[in-house]
Structure 1
Amino acid sequence: MSTSSSAPADRRTFVRTALDLGDAVLRPWSRADAGSEALLDALVTAAADPAIALWNPMAAADRDAAGAWVEARDGGWERGTAASFAIVDAIDGTLLGCVNLRWVDRADGLAMIGYWLLPTARGRGLATRGVAAVTSWGFATADARRIEIAHAVGNEASCRVADRCGYLPEGVLRESFRFGDGEYHDEHLHARLAGDPEPEKP
């Protein structure tokens, strides 16, 4: 699935890699994307979507802000601290969504994964397939020990993605995160360990 086989000297460093889903590709965000008006406009559209604005608020209200958002994703790759993938259409490169894997405690091998899809990309299983691919990649290439998903209790779509990707439910984090509505919400915590069996392919 990976188009890059080079192993990092520090196993807990994310190395830029593309992951092929067939109808879509997960590729690292890069500073070059800040020069694409089409991508920047797609990010502005994503930030304005009610579901994304509520559950995954992002500072991309205009092209300048979207460009800064892209550069921040690129910076995570440069430091090896976060692996942020643009989900793009395999044929025309249209932006479909994003999957982000970041270290919570790098020394301990603890990471967290998050994701969003543009409205036009929903209903195709892309979030599930993207999270599954990045999860397997994180365990295999970055020596992650444990990867967590924390989502608002009201975000049922995210809960389904976690379940389908083999992230077991571990409990409720009370009023643990302030979401896009400015309110603190309870979150469901899910997690996978490197030694857990792979779920059936979504």
Structure 2
Amino acid sequence: MNTSAPPPASPGPADRRAFVRTTLDLGDMVLRPWGREAAESETVLDGLVAAAADPLIALWNPLATADRGDALAWLESRDGGWDRGAAASFAALAATDGALLGSVTLRWVDRTDGLAMIGYWTLPAARGRGVATRATRAVTGWGFRTADARRVEIAHAVGNEASCRVARRCGYLPEGTLRDSHRFGDGAYHDEHLHARLATDPDPADPTGEPTA
């Protein structure tokens, strides 16, 4: 008689606050769920290794992807978040050649209460092209529509001005400063700016020719 516990079930349609794998097509950019399938692309694996080595990502969004083996383990952990419906991690890929541009992740802080947090990073070659702004807008709207998110927050280091611009362009209103809130890649605790959007907030206007992140 088999007495082992069954594996955890993937979230089903009845779980209204589950993030369910989907691909978001933004035209020239595709947001595809991070996971084991991405390991089939050496370009994407090498992109993750390059991201870990970038000074800005290493400071504000450190990644444990120093080599391809680490990148594979990282991808498996992203798969786990999707399996539980707890975190939605997307790779931002160029539609033309599949090159990795960046990443955006929406995760539950309090799933029962509908409170989530979103974060993002972009590779150096993709900066200044609106990648983070467009990806964050798309995933925010998707979270409100499909997972019944009530409130989504962005918390970024006060010194990370590019992230602040992205938050504002995506309609995340500033709500204050969190003192010594988070330890970043330099090992020090930094103050963070807190931004948030509610599901009931109006959609933000499109950016108008400003420099983008």
TM-score strictly above 0.5: yes
Q: 1:60 aligns with which of 51, 56, 65?
A: 65
Correspondence for 2:196:
191
**Aligned with residue 74 of structure 2, among 69, 77, 81:** 69
Cα distance in 2 for partners of 1:157, 1:8 equals 37
Residue 173, structure 1, aligned to residue 172, structure 2:
no
- Which residue in 2 is equivalent to 1:91? 96
CA root-mean-square deviation: 1.0
* 1:82 aligned residue: 87
Structure 1 length normalisation: TM-score? 0.95
User: Contact 1:34/1:71 (CA < 8 Å) preserved in 2?
Assistant: no
Which residue of structure 1 lines up, in the alignment, with residue 126 of structure 2?
A: 121
User: Residue 163 of structure 2: which of 136, 141, 158 is its match?
Assistant: 158
SS of equivalent residue, structure 2 residue 171? coil
Q: Deviations over 1:37-72 (max 9, x none)?
A: 221111000010000000000100111111101111
By how many angstroms is 1:36 displaced?
2.6
**1:101 matched residue in structure 2:** 106
C-alpha distance after superposition, 1:91-115 (max 9, x if no partner): 1111110000000000000000000
Runs of 4+ in 1 over 6 A off after TM superposition: none
By how many angstroms is 1:8 displaced? 2.4
Structure 2 counterpart of 1:4 = none
The question of whether the paired residues in 2 share the 8 Å contact of 1:47 and 1:59 is answered with yes
Q: Helix, strand or coil: the match of 1:107?
A: coil
Indicate whether 1:18 and 2:15 are aligned: no
Higher Cα Rg, which structure: 2
- Report percent identity of matched pairs: 76
- Matched to 1:27, the amino acid is R
Aligned equivalents of 1:36 and 1:196: distance in 2? Answer: 38
Cα deviations by residue, 1:70-127 (Å, 9 ceiling, x for unpaired): 1111111111000000000001111110000000000000000000000011111010
2:193 counterpart letter in structure 1: H
Q: How many Å apart are 1:32 and its aligned residue?
A: 1.7
Partner of 2:143: 138
SS for the counterpart of 1:73 is helix
Separation in 1, partners of 2:206, 2:88: 22
Q: Which whole-Å CA distance do the structure 2 matches of 1:132 and 1:87 have between them?
A: 13
TM-score by length of 2: 0.90
Q: Residue 148 of structure 1 is aligned with which of 148, 153, 175?
A: 153
Unaligned runs of 5+ in 1: 1-6
Shift of 1:199: 0.5
3-state SS, counterpart of residue 151 of structure 1: strand
In the alignment, what sits opposite 2:9? none
Unaligned runs of 5+ in 2: 1-11, 208-213
